[in-house]
Amino acid sequence: MELKGKVAIVTGSARGIGRAIAVALARKGANVVINYAHSEDEARKTEEMCRRYGVETLVVKADVSKRDEVREMVQRVIERFGRIDVLVNNAGILGKALRPMKVTDEDWDAVLGVNLKGAFIVTQEVLKYMKKGKIVNIASIAGKDGGTVGPHYAASKGGLIALTFNLARHLAPNILVNAVAPGPVDTGLISPEIKEKLRKLSLTGEIAKPEDVAHTVIFLLENDHITGELVDVNGGRLMD
């Protein structure tokens, strides 16, 4: 799909990986909807970075886990652009790092509510208007290998991978749905000691940059013959 002139929503794009995806889309000439939950200032920074490419942007506050807020966001996108061609479900939270027996119902509901239910709510609301297009879900290596953070995070990302496959089956041929599973990504929040440890786990000797994930998302969006796939971006961590 040619991205120039298309309308793309990127959830959780005020910073980190979502910001890199929004900017990569803008670089390709897509008009970008920058969704955020907390920081309007950061979202405006993403907007400024996108605008450098001469595209149109819309910044919308909406908690993806809340149906009413998502519905309102999608309404605003339709009022402004009249169409939605691309959805990137990127918004996510890590939750507390906890061993299984320490996870409370509240911990579970918070993480699953954003990472899995949130992605589903946004997808449902967008599908009311998207007749032809692409969806990319940002999962995680934790959805494949269980990760080290917590069972709630792993389950949310494993669920998102399964949701991707189900949607791909049901929405083809007009809407193609794929997922990306990053390993650790350096969004500026990792300490130098942890970075060193993570580098050693990667065959590339490096930690992914947000742009590495964004590049993969663009590849999936531009390709018209890939659906129901999960693409790893983890420097070969699962190769043993």
Q: How would you classify residue 104: left for phi > 0, otherwise alpha for psi between -120 and 50, otherwise beta?
A: beta
Residue with tokens 């969704």: 35
Q: Are strands 175-182 and 133-138 parallel, antiparallel or unpaired?
A: parallel
Cβ 34 to ligand NAD shortest distance, Å? 10
Residues 60-99 interacting with ligand NAD (rule: CB under 6 A): 63-65, 90-93
Q: Helix, strand or coil for residue 3?
A: coil
Residue 186, φ and ψ in degrees, nearest 5: -85, 95
C-alpha angle with apex 28: 23 to 29, nearest 5 degrees? 95
Q: Which is nearer to ligand NAD, 29 or 209 (CB)?
A: 209
Does residue 16 touch ligand NAD according to CB under 6 A? yes
153 part of the active site:
yes
Helices assigned H by DSSP within 7-118: 16-27, 40-51, 67-81, 105-112
Cβ 153 to ligand NAD shortest distance, Å? 7
Does residue 182 touch ligand NAD according to CB under 6 A? yes
| Tokens of residue 60, six digits | 């919308």
Residues 130-169 interacting with ligand NAD (rule: CB under 6 A): 138, 140
Burial class (CB in 10 A: 0-12, 13-18, 19+), 229: middle
Q: Which is nearer to ligand NAD, 47 or 63 (CB)?
A: 63
**Given the residues 36, 53, 129, 153, the one annotated as active site:** 153
- Contact map string, positions 183 to 202, toward ligand NAD, x by CB under 6 A: -xx-x---------------
Does residue 18 touch ligand NAD according to CB under 6 A? yes
Positions in the binding site for ligand NAD (CB under 6 A): 11-12, 14-18, 35-38, 63-65, 90-93, 114, 118, 138, 140, 182, 184-185, 187
Active site residues: 153
